[in-house]
């Protein structure tokens, strides 16, 4: 079975919605969410039909979807977006507290930052139930459900109980931690049972799969078939696989070749050449999993140990504030800004600024142009499910001139073997790798980039979707034949 043969059969379920309506002084502004999942699944639903269910988080979302349904895309409607509306109490408990102050830091092995409470979990469960009831009401018979991430860990089991006729795939985008850490979550058994409601359960890396299987074995005392990645829960069979997410490299290549972005890229290169510097770029949300302060410490050591690179490299850091309602995130951002200023005062002069900080988002075409213009990209994640910035940088490097420096703790490191790898908690090693990268020949750069670009061409975001949907289709066929 293919989706094209069964139009309207797929229901995508995410915390973040693909289209958001916001109130502005000029009226309602319609925004499309960024990110690989939206950019890949939205065209799929536009082409084959189906529906999307997500939290209606925009300030004008209720106004534009009075009955909770908004046809999208706004200009050429193709499929319905079902918005789940949450109360301020539910947003605080489900999203801010349990998801982002509990599961997020714990999954990234930052246990000192993880905070759990029964009250927050009660609200987390209630919101997952809201999603499950909404999907149960509108999903077609023998349809397929593709749900996502740590916000909706209880959803697969809930929809399984409400609609046993549908096939369910769930993808966990962030790392799955070792069981010794995961068991610190007071509700670890319920989280694991919730995910076992899926037929297809996807993770970013083989290590994530192994950690999850251990959580099932040790946390729930359920035997697993590690060789096949199969868990039998009564009569229900769960297949667990790694499906590393990727990017649309062809679209990025075309984007950086457009006249507007080529002019943008050439202008950046000319300015860098005028000042006699090479550009090193980093792009992150101001999240403590991204290793921002550790990266600044490494850059400090790099300039202290290798003064020959003074006035020759400038680090352009796009760091955008995020989750500003959480005090720890605000504090991290302030620390990053202060540390950047100290580093500039320590090494910079009237003719050279070692660090340039951009604190706002850059639209995607210009960001890809920046990636093409840069000679280096530095990805310093302390722990990351994948990190698509690394793959985007490689995709934009159509001139084969850039160098990727990549944390060993990003999922992308398992695929991009020709990058300069480092331990993000070892500032001396990061400094050494920066020095090595700066000295590498143009021939070696081209060899490394070409190898990684070839890999991404054979492992795109569309391959990621196809592998999951094909597995989901097989399950749906089995259910329909009952």
DSSP category for residue 352:
B
By CB neighbour count within 10 A (0-12 exposed, 13-18 middle, 19+ buried), where does 480 fall? middle
DSSP string, 202-270: EESSHHHHHHHHHIIIIIH---EETTTTEEEETTEEEEEEE------HHHHHHHHHSHHHHHHHHHHHH
pLDDT at site 48? 86
* 422 and 295 within one domain: yes
pLDDT at site 2? 53
Q: Which tens digits make up the pLDDT trace of 122-132?
A: 999 999 999 99
Question: Binning pLDDT at 50, 70 and 90, where does residue 33 land?
Answer: confident
Least confident of 248-262, 276-290, 322-336: 322-336
41 Cβ neighbours under 8 A, 6+ residues apart: 12, 18, 52, 146, 465
- Tokens standing for residue 213: 């299987």
Q: Which of 101, 148, 106, 107 is nearest to 128 (CA)?
A: 148
Beta strand 236-242 with 200-203 is parallel
Whether residue 35 has pLDDT greater than 90? no
pLDDT at site 448? 98
Whether residue 401 has pLDDT greater than 80? yes
* CA–CA gap between residue 114 and residue 78 (Å, rounded): 41
* Cβ-contact 215, 182 below 8 angstroms: yes
Q: Which tens digits make up the pLDDT trace of 203-216?
A: 999 999 999 999 99
* CA–CA gap between residue 389 and residue 405 (Å, rounded): 11
pLDDT at site 109? 95
Percent residues over pLDDT 70 in the chain: 98
Whether residue 94 has pLDDT greater than 70? yes
**C-alpha distances in angstroms, 217 versus 171, 226, 320, 437?**
20, 10, 40, 43
Give the domain range for residue 303. Answer: 249-458
Whether residue 482 has pLDDT greater than 90? no
Q: Which tens digits make up the pLDDT trace of 223-241?
A: 999 999 999 999 999 999 9
CATH code for the domain of 169: 3.40.50.2000
Q: Which of 210, 435, 422, 419 is nearest to 307 (CA)?
A: 435
Question: Binning pLDDT at 50, 70 and 90, where does residue 169 land?
Answer: very high
- Tokens standing for residue 271: 């300015």
* 269 and 120 within one domain: no
Whether residue 289 has pLDDT greater than 80? yes
Whether residue 7 has pLDDT greater than 70? no
pLDDT at site 8? 65
* CA–CA gap between residue 282 and residue 331 (Å, rounded): 20
| Total structural domains within the chain | 2
* 435 and 476 within one domain: no
By CB neighbour count within 10 A (0-12 exposed, 13-18 middle, 19+ buried), where does 349 fall? exposed
pLDDT at site 480? 87
* Cβ-contact 69, 61 below 8 angstroms: no
Question: Binning pLDDT at 50, 70 and 90, where does residue 322 land?
Answer: confident
Whether residue 185 has pLDDT greater than 60? yes
- Tokens standing for residue 275: 């000042």
Question: Binning pLDDT at 50, 70 and 90, where does residue 342 land?
Answer: very high
* CA–CA gap between residue 165 and residue 280 (Å, rounded): 52
Average per-residue pLDDT for the chain: 95
pLDDT at site 325? 77
Per-residue burial over 271-298, b if 16 or more Cβ lie within 10 Å, else e, is: ebeeeebbbbbbbbbbbbbbbbebbbbb
Token pair 């000029």 is found at 26
* 361 and 232 within one domain: no
pLDDT at site 1? 42
* Cβ-contact 245, 173 below 8 angstroms: yes
pLDDT at site 396? 98
* 351 and 292 within one domain: yes
* 321 and 222 within one domain: no
Q: Which of 183, 192, 188, 236 is nearest to 213 (CA)?
A: 192
* CA–CA gap between residue 389 and residue 395 (Å, rounded): 10
* 468 and 449 within one domain: no
* 150 and 32 within one domain: yes
Mean pLDDT across 383-388 = 94
- Tokens standing for residue 41: 């699944």
- Angle at CA of residue 473, ends 17 and 55, nearest 5°: 15
* 282 and 156 within one domain: no
pTM > 0.85: yes
pLDDT at site 5? 52
* 241 and 290 within one domain: no
pLDDT at site 32? 85
Least confident of 1-15, 53-67, 364-378, 390-404: 1-15
* 414 and 452 within one domain: yes
* 337 and 233 within one domain: no
Whether residue 9 has pLDDT greater than 90? no
């Amino acid at each position: 079975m293919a989706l094209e043969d069964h139009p309207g059969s797929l229901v995508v379920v995410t915390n973040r919605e693909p289209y958001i309506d916001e109130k502005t002084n000029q009226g309602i502004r319609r925004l499309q969410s960024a990110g690989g999942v939206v950019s890949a699944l939205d065209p799929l639903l536009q082409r084959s039909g189906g529906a999307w269910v997500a939290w209606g988080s925009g300030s004008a979302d209720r106004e534009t979807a009075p009955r909770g349904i908004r046809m999208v895309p706004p200009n050429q409607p193709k499929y319905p977006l079902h918005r789940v509306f949450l109360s301020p109490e539910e947003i605080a408990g489900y999203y801010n507290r349990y998801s982002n102050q509990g599961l997020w830091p714990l999954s990234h092995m930052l246990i000192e930052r993880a905070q759990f409470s029964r009250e927050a979990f009660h609200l987390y469960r209630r919101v997952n139930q809201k999603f499950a009831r909404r999907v149960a009401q509108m999903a077609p018979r023998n349809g397929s459900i593709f749900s996502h991430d740590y916000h909706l860990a209880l959803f697969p089991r809930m929809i399984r109980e409400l609609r046993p006729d549908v096939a369910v795939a769930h993808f966990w985008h962030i790392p799955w931690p070792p069981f010794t850490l995961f068991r610190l979550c007071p509700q670890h058994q319920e989280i694991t049972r919730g995910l076992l409601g899926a037929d297809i359960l996807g993770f970013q890396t083989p290590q994530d799969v192994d950690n999850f299987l251990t959580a099932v074995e040790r946390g729930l005392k359920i035997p697993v078939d590690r060789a096949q990645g199969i868990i039998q829960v009564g009569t229900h069979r769960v297949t667990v696989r790694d499906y590393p997410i990727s990017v649309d490299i062809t679209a990025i290549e075309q984007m950086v070749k457009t006249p507007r972005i080529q002019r943008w890229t050439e202008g950046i290169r000319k300015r860098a050449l005028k000042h006699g510097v090479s550009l090193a770029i980093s792009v992150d949300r101001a999240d403590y999993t991204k290793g921002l302060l550790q990266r600044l410490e490494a850059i400090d050591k790099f300039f202290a140990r290798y003064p020959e690179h003074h006035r020759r490299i400038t680090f352009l850091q796009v760091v955008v504030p995020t989750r500003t309602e959480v005090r720890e995130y605000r504090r991290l951002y302030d620390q990053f800004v202060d540390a950047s200023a100290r580093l500039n005062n320590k090494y910079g002069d009237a003719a050279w600024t070692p660090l340039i900080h951009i604190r706002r988002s850059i639209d995607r075409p210009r960001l890809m142009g920046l990636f093409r213009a840069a000679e280096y990209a530095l990805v310093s994640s302390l722990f990351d499910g994948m990190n698509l910035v690394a793959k985007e940088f490689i995709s934009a490097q159509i001139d084969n001139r850039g160098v990727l420096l990549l944390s060993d703790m990003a999922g992308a490191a398992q695929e991009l073997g020709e990058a300069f790898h480092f331990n993000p908690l070892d500032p001396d090693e990061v400094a050494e790798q920066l020095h090595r990268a700066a000295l590498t020949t143009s021939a070696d750069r081209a060899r490394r980039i070409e190898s990684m670009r070839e890999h991404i061409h054979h492992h795109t975001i569309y391959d990621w979707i196809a592998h999951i949907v094909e597995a989901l289709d097989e399950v749906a066929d089995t259910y329909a034949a009952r």
